[in-house]
Structure 1
């Protein structure tokens, strides 16, 4: 290791910046962000006196001779110097920086490849939660209390690790700082009494099926979970992103199949969190769009247990995009409504007359088996039989299949998407924009001359 990484406190200390332009501005802004007293200087008039009292000099003139001249002056003044893009003239180098409100990661290649350092910074930024600084603040708040209360070093380390990885951490990262403090205080009390602390439940959207459409937070939680309770519609490719030793439990509900009752799922969540587990309740699409996630949050809240919600790409967004259908379009649709197809025959009905109008897109969930009743209700509400429709089965997945036609033919189109238990999940899109599904094939990437 040629360069030793150090984090230097610059608050209130003099830093000289020699040069003008983007590179000099970047270094000045970085130094100011660390609280430095920044002095901007022009290369042609620099003397050793200008560097008196400085703790660092940054040079960025974009002129080789000027850079070398300023470097000699800084060295004569005994001040460490960094010259932009000239590693041979640097006492220290500028790393690529990831800053999460005081949690700082520096990446360096020793000047060999700033581009590689930038690429690595992007990957690290994608992996680190945005509110990481809040988590560091939580740990700082409780550090003295933990040190005073837990005298055994091994138990203390275990507690502090749980504090930055467990339920309190997840609440802090989700923006619930008050909830994080309450959980941390409860865990500290449990440690004092040598009790098992509660776990936490994460109500997570798995998206429409393509594992690459998982959110970053969802992917992180799948790697942290002790147990994953998943819907039947969550595909194996998404479950494969889970931690290797996580317990995978199917609690799915599918029409015409034996399944878990919602009350049993609620009770299982409560039982596992009380036992100290980190539980991911993994739902296809988004947990708060026809996912009954709100009921599970109600059960956890009533039990006084911690929880977070991680949204997912709901089926209407994912399926429409993968089929090339814009749910809204300046010329065709200024509104879109998500509707459940369950109960289309006898259940509680939406206001079909308000939905069956031009310039309005309907995204109908779980409606393939009720297509005939849906067609009849829309036609009775005034929709034109010629209204374009599309049915997207297994949207975003390798087996995606799209059928297009007119509202008057919806039952016939849906028949091939609702055959027995082998049929995949289907979404029905009604409205002028549905016609775009027939135009969705991309042109070739290269022109053959």
Structure 2
């Protein structure tokens, strides 16, 4: 190593920033995460830095003097002028103050790393200036893997250490803290149930640091997004990396499963339209059974679990068994389809309503009235509708939508095999047959106000006025 990584205390200490423009502002943003007193040295300050001074978080000094650097924790110099930077560097060195000069590594005693901030947990990543792109990539991966709330749990542990020292025997403390940070308290904390986690920890302290042998499991219904793994949310990645067992179906891309920890059990449930090799009731039973063993269960669903994912049945089964359950939203296929087309699903003056519908229903209602909410000023996104395309086209035409209206057919959205096919209402069934699309696809149909006759508008709005009155009654 050419640089030794370490943390510098900032409490009750000054950090000097020389410069009043954007370079200085970038350093100030970083240092404002600490509790240091900032000293900004410049004849004039740009608006952002002036705001920092007005907020009381920094002092503004007009003139640069050697005394400013005496006993400062560190100094950052970024005036934008190489000559001024060199002079400020010389003054800082004369006071033996560690210094960083922006974009001049040969004048730097210290460098600023890429930081993952979960205060008080902080991860610093550096490459000694050789590979900043790589350090940013590592930072991004760590941001995904470390829960945003992890710092709060660390802060809580600091507050509770005196109580642990008093009530938990010395020989049991290591196991106790391992339980807090690796066991059910952490899992409970990161799913948002902080009060429950605090109670668990405090109860364990008063019992002398009991082992977590009776912990209950938990279930997370996680949205895997439309396919591309970089469209998963950070929370979804966190749950995959915490899971003991993952139940997934054929629509979940293999690359998404690669984000899970390697020793997590993976169970393929094989659900797909028209051939449920795993009935929903069996899935409900299995996820509950695994959670009862104290395991962290992820039910991984393509898209968003709350959009045509039968999440309600799984939530009900978990609650009936007294098992904590959460739902992690994902990018639903309709939004991903719009993004793949670089198209907004709503547009002022064209479509002010977005309808998500499915062309295939339940056994009791296999052909739902999927177009009943379609009308002038509406974009309709239809899921699971490939086999019903002919019927849906007829329904739209009967409602007054011109047969020549544009339809976007989007299959395997966000995956390498993605295909988008332009069609019309009249030709969408034949176009899918020509392209061999038989599985899942999203049909996007926008019915602009301009394409609707006055008669159609009147009928449509009068029908929905009646619906609203009926609902209100």
Q: Which residue of 2 aligns with 1:164?
A: 181
Counterpart-to-counterpart distance in 2, 1:237 and 1:29: 36
Q: Which residue of 1 aligns with 2:462?
A: none
> By how many angstroms is 1:227 displaced?
0.9
Are residue 199 (structure 1) and residue 214 (structure 2) matched? no
Q: Alpha carbons of 1:239 and 1:107: their partners in 2 closer, same or farther (altered >3 Å)? A: closer
Counterpart-to-counterpart distance in 2, 1:42 and 1:329: 47
Deviations 1:354-411 (A, max 9, x none): 42x2331211222223334434444444444443334434333444455554434555
Q: Which residue of 2 aligns with 1:8?
A: 8
Counterpart-to-counterpart distance in 1, 2:126 and 2:10: 20
Are residue 428 (structure 1) and residue 446 (structure 2) matched? no
Q: Which residue of 2 aligns with 1:270?
A: 288
Q: Which of 106, 114, 117 is the matching residue for 1:99?
A: 117
Are residue 17 (structure 1) and residue 17 (structure 2) matched? yes
Are residue 238 (structure 1) and residue 263 (structure 2) matched? no
Q: Which of 195, 199, 206 is the matching residue for 1:178?
A: 195
Structure 1: runs of 5 or more not aligned: 434-449
Counterpart-to-counterpart distance in 2, 1:374 and 1:187: 59
Counterpart-to-counterpart distance in 2, 1:149 and 1:269: 37
CA contact under 8 A between 1:55 and 1:79: conserved in structure 2? yes
Deviations 1:156-193 (A, max 9, x none): 44553453345543453444433443555677779626
Q: Alpha carbons of 1:405 and 1:156: their partners in 2 closer, same or farther (altered >3 Å)? A: same
Q: 1:337 aligns to what SS in structure 2?
A: strand
CA contact under 8 A between 1:167 and 1:278: conserved in structure 2? no
Q: Which residue of 1 aligns with 2:235?
A: 217
Q: Which residue of 2 aligns with 1:280?
A: 298
Q: Alpha carbons of 1:192 and 1:91: their partners in 2 closer, same or farther (altered >3 Å)? A: same
Counterpart-to-counterpart distance in 2, 1:81 and 1:387: 65
Q: Alpha carbons of 1:142 and 1:380: their partners in 2 closer, same or farther (altered >3 Å)? A: farther
Q: 1:431 aligns to what SS in structure 2?
A: strand
Pairing 1:281-430 to 2, within 5 Å after superposition: 281-322=299-340, 326-330=344-348, 332-343=350-361, 347=365, 349=368, 352-355=371-374, 357-409=375-427, 412=430, 423-430=438-445
Q: CA RMSD in A?
A: 3.9
Q: Show structure 1 runs of 4+ deviating over 6 A.
A: 186-191, 416-419
Q: TM-score, normalised by structure 1?
A: 0.78
Q: TM-score, normalised by structure 2?
A: 0.75
CA contact under 8 A between 1:342 and 1:367: conserved in structure 2? yes
Q: Alpha carbons of 1:151 and 1:70: their partners in 2 closer, same or farther (altered >3 Å)? A: same
Pairing 1:120-199 to 2, within 5 Å after superposition: 120-122=138-140, 124-144=142-162, 151=169, 156-182=173-199, 184=201, 192=210, 195-199=213-217
CA contact under 8 A between 1:56 and 1:80: conserved in structure 2? yes
> By how many angstroms is 1:289 displaced?
0.4
Q: Alpha carbons of 1:305 and 1:87: their partners in 2 closer, same or farther (altered >3 Å)? A: same
CA contact under 8 A between 2:16 and 2:69: conserved in structure 1? yes
Structure 2: runs of 5 or more not aligned: 44-61, 449-473
Deviations 1:34-83 (A, max 9, x none): 22223334699544444444343444445555445444444444444444
Greater alpha carbon shift after TM alignment, 37-46 vs 379-388: 37-46
Q: Which residue of 2 aligns with 1:440?
A: none
Q: Alpha carbons of 1:262 and 1:118: their partners in 2 closer, same or farther (altered >3 Å)? A: closer
> By how many angstroms is 1:414 displaced?
5.8
CA contact under 8 A between 1:345 and 1:373: conserved in structure 2? no
Q: Alpha carbons of 1:296 and 1:342: their partners in 2 closer, same or farther (altered >3 Å)? A: same
Counterpart-to-counterpart distance in 2, 1:338 and 1:161: 45
Q: Which residue of 1 aligns with 2:272?
A: 254
Counterpart-to-counterpart distance in 2, 1:193 and 1:116: 41
> By how many angstroms is 1:143 displaced?
4.6
Counterpart-to-counterpart distance in 2, 1:213 and 1:308: 20
